[in-house]
Amino acid sequence: MDFRFTKEEETFRKEVQDFLAESLPADWVGVDPDGHHEQAIEELHQFDLKMRRKLAAKGWLGLTWPKEYGGQEAPLMKQFILEEEIMYRGAPWWALSAALMIGDSILQFGTEEQKRRFLPPIARGEAQWTVGMSEPNAGSDLANLQLRATEEGDCFVLNGQKIWQTGAHYADWCILYARTDPDVPKHRGISVFLVDLKSPGITMRRIPSMAGHHAFNETFYDNVRVPKENLLGEKNKGWGVALFAVYTEKGFGLWLLHNARRDFELLVEYCKETYLNGQLLAKDHLIRDKLAQMAIELEVGHNLGNRINWMAIEGMPVVAQACQLRPYGGNLAQRLANLGMQILGLYGQLDEKSKWARLGGRIKHLYLGSVAMTIEGGTNEVSRNTIARVALGLPRG
């Protein structure tokens, strides 16, 4: 067993680290998309637009895709290294996740025409996308979705509602899951559409998050016409696309761990240089114990992630493993946020607007944002159900 990266991979890692050091402001706190206040989110969006153009100029959006679709045909390991460094620094990552969650689905299921039309703008960092899966009565039970698509001439006509669409208010396009046949078992009547969000009949309503900012939206479709050439994959075979996208997103559990590692390191530094009632925090037995425990958990997660990445590179199935990463990463982030709050005390409740904030207010953001980390991309309970079924061979509950 050889855990080392190759020389070429280490060189690439260094290149990404240097790029991030140059591109991020010196006082960069890091992105926690679920924890910023309204104004910061708007500023963050503007910065994200700049960053995605820079990432695109490096050829790092769609890094592994074929060249004819705007990719670099790079090995998968480079993609993993890029993700790790971006998440570790808390750099804007939405363009990267869109390339994976949406671009990879188009690459896997799209027609030649769709790949040539939709992938290059993603690789150039131009087109912004959102995912339209969830509905008020279709979250964990995604197959229950009711947004209806009916055929009319050369179009499908969409009617219904989506909810929790992250970033839809900035997006140009949506990968939308709709019901095309209501008379068959629910998994067999779903189709996927690539929808221009400027189409007449689409309205959007903001949903403020518990952290008080605007990241989510409800979208309403009223007789929205989508050309038939925008059907992704076969009609009524959309469940396969959904599973592909959901399991891709499950792998993002590792992203949570990379992100948490940086917060952890900053907390350790804080304890090494901060005194409370005349005693260095790092000498407090309880704090030392908790930090050491967290170090173990991060190391375990990191190695689990590396193993799963290796399995993916070797072409092995990683569905159950990706489902392990998601609850592991989400729970760890929540435990780290709690630990951070205990260490910072009342300072932990302040964000970067306060002169009394510690660590740039990032622990407050992590504390609020990490609540969503065991829900987004499918809840922990759903991930564990998949592990029970796929890895342990237990019958459906």
d(CA 198, CA 207): 20
Per-position b or e across 101-119, b if 16+ CB within 10 A of its CB = bbbbbbbebbeeebbebbb
Site for ligand FAD in 55-94 (CB under 6 A): none
- Does 385 bind ligand FAD (CB under 6 A)? Our answer is yes
- Does 375 bind ligand FAD (CB under 6 A)? Our answer is yes
> Is 330:373 a contact under the CB 8 Å cutoff?
yes
- Does 231 bind ligand FAD (CB under 6 A)? Our answer is no
275 bridge partner residues: 280
Shortest approach of ligand FAD to residue 197 CB, angstroms?
Answer: 13
Which of 34, 48, 218, 351 touches ligand FAD (CB under 6 A)?
34
Residue 3, number of CB atoms within 10 A of its CB: 8
d(CA 353, CA 357): 8
Q: What are phi and psi of 200, to 5 degrees?
A: -60, 140
Which of 94, 164, 221, 247 touches ligand FAD (CB under 6 A)?
164
Closer to ligand FAD by CB, 75 or 139: give it.
139
| Site size for ligand FAD (CB under 6 A) | 19
> Is 224:158 a contact under the CB 8 Å cutoff?
yes
Shortest approach of ligand FAD to residue 5 CB, angstroms?
Answer: 31
> Is 329:253 a contact under the CB 8 Å cutoff?
yes
- Does 249 bind ligand FAD (CB under 6 A)? Our answer is no
Closer to ligand FAD by CB, 289 or 381: give it.
381
- The H or E element that residue 79 is part of is helix 76-89
Residue 314: closest CA among 12, 73, 71, 77? 77
- Does 259 bind ligand FAD (CB under 6 A)? Our answer is no
Using DSSP's 3-state secondary structure scheme, residue 201 falls into coil
- Does 382 bind ligand FAD (CB under 6 A)? Our answer is yes
User: Which range binds ligand FAD by CB under 6 A, 83-91, 112-120, 289-297, 380-388?
Assistant: 380-388
d(CA 205, CA 5): 46
Site for ligand FAD in 113-152 (CB under 6 A): 130-134, 139-140
User: Which range binds ligand FAD by CB under 6 A, 72-80, 235-243, 267-275, 371-379?
Assistant: 371-379
Site for ligand FAD, rule CB under 6 A: 34, 130-134, 139-140, 164-166, 372, 375-376, 378-379, 381-382, 385
